[in-house]
Every structure is written in structure tokens, then in C-alpha cells.
A = this chain, B = another copy of it.
Amino acid sequence: MIRYDRGQDEYKDWIVSESDFNPSHLRKLEAVMALGNGYMGLRSSLEEAYPHAKRNLFVNGTFNQADPTEVTELPNLADVTQIDFLVDGTRFHLEIGEIEHHTRDLNVNTAELSRDLVWKSPEGKRLHIQTRRIVSLAQKHLIANEIKIKALDQPVALKIISSIDGQTTNSGAQHFLNGTPRVYGDYLLEYQQTTRQSEVEVVLASEHRINQSITVDKLMERRKVGFGYNLNLESGESVTMEKFTAVYTSRDREFLDQHAQPLDISSHAHGLLKELTNQSYEEVYLAHKEAWKNSVWNRYNLHIDSEDNFDQLATRFSMYHMSIMTPAHDDRMGIGAKGLSGEGYKGHSFWDTEIFVLPFFTYSNPSIAKSLLTYRYHGLESARKKAKENGYEGAMYPWEMAFPDEGEVTPLYGDIDIVTGERSKIWTGLIEQHITADIAFAVDQYVRITGDQTFLNDYGYEMIFECANFWASRLEWNAQETRYEITNVIGPDEYKEHINNNAYTNYLAYFTLKLAKQSYEYLSSQNENVFEHLKQNINLAQSYQMWQEKASQLYLPEPKREQLVIPQDDTYLDLPEIDLTKYRNQPQPRTIYKDYNQQQINGIQVTKQADVLVLIYLLEQTSLKDDLEFTEKLKRANFDYYEPRTLHDSSLSLSTHAILASDLNNLELAYKMFQKASRTDLGENMQSSQEGIHAASIAGIWNIAVFGFGGVRLTAEGLSIQPKLPKQWSALSFNIDWKGEQLRVNVQDSEVTISKDSSNELELLINNQSVRLEDTITVPLALQNI
């Protein structure tokens, strides 16, 4: 069972716990309690082995193609976390003997995983076992463990087996050549491994410290090297072992301009361990904790007073995971759909980053947002290549992206099709094309929120223009209708494949063309240098004409029927309907696949995830808002139409619906959706998240709090803040970065107070009223809690 109430005093609402041990929960908790620092991510497997555990250690940006029939993915490095203890010859684990007490805590404040347990061996000897583990934020190459074992009432013979185990795979896919193991003396292990296709060199070096006298066995198996430490504890005596592991790869920025050799990398690893020689686990932990305080919590200070303390914990959990998954240190790397917490989605970046995760960083840590968008800029050349290969112009971004220069890495096959018995074909890499508009959208948002003109000049314009060029070439002329259309796509709703004129895709393509046009006009008049530079590679004049012409003739599905419903695509509204009750609100998503295959689902009015509603949510925040007249009436009409038809079978879905529900003043529903969204990973359903947490959903928790209840929104007129709290919440406060200023938003007692440190005057919309903010302003909430 997951518990949320173990945090006390300074750690109140900061701790996620497992209170009783259940082997079938291992995989979920490995992901939910994962550690990381953006450089690397480590699943929180227990020290001792269990058959269904899934140990994963990923270093961001080390992609490799395991074999020619598979796509590139983040390889699972050698494991350093498994530490088995033999107690009088019997291997300790929690399915034997007796657990007198067992808790495991992830403290998201200190980013430390700890266990505390009292176990009675089958022979009746009681041990008190405490373990602690961090992936250091202060020293991003460091994993540190501390293990303390106390013989409570009888002497025991103990053997502690600690190794570096390169037998690990990604569910059977082995990314590494046979590595080179090495032992130095009785305490230091090293294992060097090289990915077989991308030739990334990895060095792991583990140093052990033990405060008891021992005899040592040196253990070597294939791809594995370890120590067996034998020792005896008297009754009441304890042993403490620390294991510090240094992880370096040839992809590290340290080796940016060289082809790093294993020897160089190894010397960095040993250098780090040497540096730490005189530091204990506790000291290393304190530096790490301080780094979390300074870099994370002082900045992302979101506070909720809720009837349910879980809400506060959930938002912290959200910020914790966004922090550990994000390669803030390196703009050659993106965010995986499961972060670094599991093998799911192979570490690939999807539109999840731009549409769901990026807003958090754009509004709270713009330099990280810039790094993530720069990653997409690095992918521009391969996006151009993908466009060309598909017969288009400009830049066609890959649906799934790994190495920036590798292009499309979406796999070709998915799960078994229940009708044919064969694996189903995955079409997203070919025809889910809206990503190219999503990225342009994100660039525009980032620049408008941060005012980072430098990014725009260096990277942004070029990305926008090339995305627009793609769309201009992508549009298909329908002579009969005398309009441009976009056929044969997948929209955000992946339950509809090969559809025509997906509203989301068409509108976002339109937005991209308009954005490019406006950017061109601004740039050509304002910055001749950049303009001239870009003209060297892109025929801007010709493009500009195309953007205008094509945008003006692009078919934008208009609200249909009296109900103002925007048709999701050409056929959706005319499809037969079925009773979806059975598939809505299932603990497991995608249960509809047990009754229907993809082709059949294609023919029903059922939506996997927000589609038209995301469109409405996003476009409202563009300069096209008025252009397209998205009225509140239209928003409500579409919400009422699509919400009952949406299964939320994608974890991306709920946050958008929750935010719109809040916009529509349905705070009860919005809060219900917030609760559900914040339990996607953190909740009691132990069958979710085994392959990794859901990055976009985790971001969605913060999004609902800040964009939903906090009412923060970018509008054509600038930043708008219109908080409305659900009745369960009595206060909400958070920080927002806006044009280089950090604003503090504090909602409490039916008032919202906005303050900032500088005295530069800012213009804001609060509750739709334009106000000028110097240092602090307080206004009553527009909508009172009911």
C-alpha cells in the first residue's frame, strides 16, 4: 500500500511511502519512487533480488539501437543497486522469515530513498536493516548508498554481496558489447561497457566502505563483477556499508569535443571517487539535499491548503519528477515520455514535452525550457531530412525523437491485434504529424512568456519558418471544395487513424503558417542581420507568399450543428455510437482493446484523449484567439460533447479536461479530475506505471493547479491570472516567471495577491481586468468558492 502521511514536521506532505511489502507492487514503486538528477535516472528497486523486479539505470542522451530490427532507445546500464545479504547462509528477502516492521520512503524534498525494517530470519534471528540511497544533484555522476544492518538479539554470520552487474538488458534487448570488468583491491569495482551501435562508452566504478573487519570473495561472472564481504556480528552489533558509484559516459559534456576513450572516462570516475574519499554518505547526502533546496524547492514553491493533504504532496511529486527526468545540463537531450523511470517509450521525446511538460519550465525555470527547445533546434536538420524523404519541404519533426540527428525513431509494431493475432502496425511515426506544429507553438509560447528574443533570433525563427514550410508543402488541394486539406493523419486522439482534416492538426497547421507570416513581417522589419542570415538557407520571400496563400485557403473545420461542436475530423460526428460506460473509469486504460481492434475503434464515436479540447485550450493562448472566435459558449459546447466520448485512455488527457472544466467554472468536476490525474502514477492502482511514470500526466498535475485553479494563461494581451479554487482548497500560492521577473501568486481568503521583488512595472490581466503591478497587488477573486 502506498501511504502519503508518513512525512512529519518539516517533511509533512513530502513523503511517499510503502508501508507493507507486496511483491506484485515492485515494478510500480520502482518507477514512482525513482531517483534521478536529469543526468541519470535510477529505478528504485529494492536491494535484494525479486523475480519480477525491473532494475533500470539510464543516462540521458545515450541512445543505442540494440539490433537492426528495433529502434534506438535509452540503454539500461549495468546495475549497481542489487546488494544481497546472506544471513547465516540464507538470502535475505521479504518473502521469507517474518517482517516485524517495514517502511520505504521516498522523500521528494530531499530526493532520498530510505528503508527501515526489522526482519526475523527463518532461523529466528532478528535484524534491523536500514538503507538510504541518493542520485546526487550536487554531483550528477554519483549514486550513493548506505546500508546498515544490526543483529538485534543473536550473533549472525553475514555475507554482503555487492556487484556491478552488466547482465541487465532492456527486457531482453542487450545494448552493450561484452564489457570489461576490473577489481582494484578489496573495495573498488569497475565495469566498462560500450553500446554496440552508437558506440557510447560507459564507465561505472563502485567504491565500498565497511566499518567491520571482513574477508573478501572476489566474484566474477560473465558481464558482472562483485565482492562478497564475510563478517560476523555479535548480538547488538551493527555494520554499515557505503557504496559510492561514479557513472560517466562518452556523451558527457566533459567530453563534448573529443572522442572520449574508456581510459579518459575511467579516470574521471576514479577521480570523483577519490575526491569523495573523505566524505561519508551523510556528508554527500547533505550536499545533495542543499542542492535540491537551492535549485528546486526555493524556485518551485507551490503551496496548497487543501482538505486533503494528498493534493499538496501530489504537486510536489509532480515537481520532483519533472526535476529528476529533465536534462537541464545538456541541450542535446530531451525528456522521455516516461522520464528516466522505466523502459516504456524507450526514452523518446514526444509532443508530451512541448505541450505538457514545457509550460512548467517556461513559467518556472526558463533556462531549462530554452535547453529543451534547443534540443529540438538540434533536431532541425534531421527534421528537414524527414520532410525531404517524405516528399515535403521544410522541417517535418519526428513523432518520436532520440538523438537529435537521428530523425524518426517511432517503432513499427505494437501490441498483438486481438483479431489477427499478429502485432499491430504503429502508424504514428508516419502520419501523426501535428508534432511539427506543436513545436512551433511551444517556441512561440516560450518567447512570448520569457521575452527571450535571443533564442528567437538564434533558433526560434528558423524553427518556425521551417515548420511552416513543412505545412505549406503538406497541404493538399481539394479542387472540388476549392480548399486545402490535410488527409490521412492521426490527431492527438490516437483512436482514430488515417483520418481527414483532423481539427487539431488543421488548426495548428494554420497557426504555424500564420505565426511564420507574422514572424517574417516582424523580423524583416526589425532585424536585418538575422533576416539576411536565414535567407541564405531558406527562400523566405517565396515561403512568405506560400504561407499567406495556403493559410487563407486551408480548411478549418467550423463548429457544426447548433451545438457549436467542432468536428474532430471529417467523419467523427457521423460515426455510430456505443455505450462506453464499460470502458470509462476503468482502473486499467485501453480496456476497449479487449473487445475491439484498432480498425473497429476507428469506426466508433470514441476518443482516447483530449483532441478538440486541447485545440481549444492551446489556440486560446495564441494571437489567433480572436481570429478564430473561440467563445466560452463554444468551449462549453465542445466540452459537453467530447468529454463523455473521451475514455482518457491516455495519461495526457485529464489535465486538459480539468483545466477546461475549471475555465467553465465546473470546479467540482475539475477537482475530481485533478484528483484522478494526480493518482495516475501516485495512486492505489498498482498495475499502472510499471514501465515508468507518465511524464505528461505528472506535469499535468502542476498544470491543473497553476493553469486550471491558478488561472494562469497567456493571452494575446499578455499574462492573465484568474484563480478559482475548488471548495476543498483554502489557499494556493505559486511562483511564475514572466518576462524575466518572478511573480508570487497567493490565493487565499477570496483574494489573490501577486507580488514580486523588483519594482519594474508590469501590466497583467487579473480576473480579465488589466492591472499594473509594481511590487504587490491584491484583488478579490472573481468566482467565490461555493
Chain A residues proximal to chain B, CB less than 8 Å: 23-24, 49-53, 66-70, 89, 91, 93, 95-96, 166-174, 177-178, 180-185, 196, 218, 220-225, 343, 415-416, 418, 421-423
Contact in complex: B223, A173 (CB < 8 Å):
yes
Residues of B within 8 A of A422 (CB): 182
Contact in complex: A421, B184 (CB < 8 Å):
yes
How many subunits of this chain does the assembly comprise?
Answer: 2
Query: In the assembled complex, how far is the CB of residue A259 from the closest CB belonging to chain B, in whole angstroms?
Result: 19
- CB-defined A-B contacts under 8 Å, sample of 11: A49-B51, A70-B177, A168-B172, A169-B174, A172-B224, A173-B222, A174-B174, A180-B423, A183-B416, A185-B421, A218-B416
Contact in complex: B69, A178 (CB < 8 Å):
yes
- Contact A67/B178 with A184-B421, A418-B218 known, Cβ cut-off 8 Å: yes
Task: Determine the distance from Cα of A52 to Cα of B221 in the docked complex, in whole angstroms.
Answer: 13
Contact in complex: A177, B68 (CB < 8 Å):
yes
Residues of B within 8 A of A70 (CB): 177-178
Q: Which of A168, A171, A178, A343 has the most CB of B within 10 A?
A: A178
Residues of B within 8 A of A174 (CB): 66-67, 169, 172-174
Residues of B within 8 A of A24 (CB): 89, 91
**Chain B residue nearest to A343 in the complex (CB):** B222
Residues of B within 8 A of A173 (CB): 174, 178, 222-223
Task: Determine the distance from Cα of A196 to Cα of B172 in the docked complex, in whole angstroms.
Answer: 14
Residues of B within 8 A of A52 (CB): 49
Query: In the assembled complex, how far is the CB of residue A229 from the closest CB belonging to chain B, in whole angstroms?
Result: 15
Task: Determine the distance from Cα of A416 to Cα of B216 in the docked complex, in whole angstroms.
Answer: 14
Query: In the assembled complex, how far is the CB of residue A471 from the closest CB belonging to chain B, in whole angstroms?
Result: 34
Query: In the assembled complex, how far is the CB of residue A529 from the closest CB belonging to chain B, in whole angstroms?
Result: 49
Contact in complex: B69, A171 (CB < 8 Å):
no
Q: Which one of B91, B170, B220, B223 contacts A416 once the chains associate, using CB atoms below 8 Å? A: B220
Query: In the assembled complex, how far is the CB of residue A464 from the closest CB belonging to chain B, in whole angstroms?
Result: 38
Task: Determine the distance from Cα of A162 to Cα of B343 in the docked complex, in whole angstroms.
Answer: 23
Query: In the assembled complex, how far is the CB of residue A165 from the closest CB belonging to chain B, in whole angstroms?
Result: 8
Residues of B within 8 A of A68 (CB): 177
Query: In the assembled complex, how far is the CB of residue A101 from the closest CB belonging to chain B, in whole angstroms?
Result: 18
Having A181-B423, A220-B416, A225-B416, one finds 7 other A-B pairs with CB under 8 Å, namely: A24-B91, A66-B174, A67-B178, A70-B177, A167-B171, A172-B174, A182-B423
Task: Determine the distance from Cα of A224 to Cα of B423 in the docked complex, in whole angstroms.
Answer: 12
Query: In the assembled complex, how far is the CB of residue A503 from the closest CB belonging to chain B, in whole angstroms?
Result: 33
Residues of B within 8 A of A67 (CB): 174, 177-178, 196
Task: Determine the distance from Cα of A66 to Cα of B178 in the docked complex, in whole angstroms.
Answer: 9
Going nearest first, the 5 A-B pairs with the smallest beta carbon separation are A167-B172, A174-B174, A49-B51, A172-B223, A171-B222
Query: In the assembled complex, how far is the CB of residue A68 from the closest CB belonging to chain B, in whole angstroms?
Result: 7
Task: Determine the distance from Cα of A178 to Cα of B414 in the docked complex, in whole angstroms.
Answer: 13
Contact in complex: B172, A172 (CB < 8 Å):
no
Contact in complex: A23, B91 (CB < 8 Å):
yes
Residues of B within 8 A of A89 (CB): 24
Task: Determine the distance from Cα of A502 to Cα of B343 in the docked complex, in whole angstroms.
Answer: 54
Query: In the assembled complex, how far is the CB of residue A226 from the closest CB belonging to chain B, in whole angstroms?
Result: 10
Contact in complex: B169, A167 (CB < 8 Å):
yes
Residues of B within 8 A of A171 (CB): 167, 221-224
Q: Which one of B182, B415, B421 contacts A421 once the chains associate, using CB atoms below 8 Å? A: B182
Task: Determine the distance from Cα of A49 to Cα of B180 in the docked complex, in whole angstroms.
Answer: 30
